[in-house]
Copies of this chain bind each other. A is one copy, B any other.
Amino acid sequence: MTPPFKIPLLQPDSRQGFLHLSLQDEDTPFSWSVQSYTLRGGLQDGVDVVEIYNGKLRLAVLPTRGMGIWKAQCGKRPLGWESPVKQPVHPAFINSQERGGLGWLKGFNEWFVRCGLNSMGAPGMDTVLDYSGNAVDVPLTLHGNIANIPAHAVELEVTETAILLRGEIDETMMFGPALRLKTEIRTDFASGSMTVTDTVTNLGNNPVEHQMLYHINYGAPLLEKGARLLAPFKQVAPRDARSAEGVGDFDHYGPPQVGFVEQAYYFELLGQRGSRETMALLRNAAGDQASLLRFSLNDFPCFTLWKNTAGSADGYVTGLEPATSYPNTRRFEREKGRVLVLGGGESRTTEIRIENLDTKTAVRSAESEIKKLQKRAKPKVSANPLAAYSNVS
Contact = CB atoms under 8 A, between A and B. Distances in A.
Given A10-B151, A138-B100, A170-B86, A314 B206 contact: yes
A84 B172 contact: yes
Interface stretch (A35-43, A219-227, A286-294): A35-43
Contacts of A98: 97, 138
Interface string A90-111: 1111011111101001101100
A4 B164 CA distance: 11
14 contacts: A3-B158, A3-B159, A7-B155, A9-B36, A11-B155, A41-B152, A42-B151, A43-B150, A95-B96, A106-B174, A109-B174, A203-B313, A205-B312, A206-B259
Interface stretch (A18-26, A69-77, A275-283, A328-336): A18-26
Given A150-B43, A204-B313, A313-B203, A10 B48 contact: yes
Contacts of A17: none
A105 B6 CA distance: 35
What is the total number of copies of this protein in its complex?
Answer: 3
Interface of A: 1-12, 14, 18-19, 21, 23, 25, 27-28, 36, 41-46, 48, 50, 63-64, 83-87, 90-93, 95-100, 102, 105-106, 108-109, 128, 130-133, 136-138, 149-160, 167-170, 172-176, 178, 203-206, 240, 242, 258-259, 261-262, 310-315, 344-345
A41 B131 contact: no
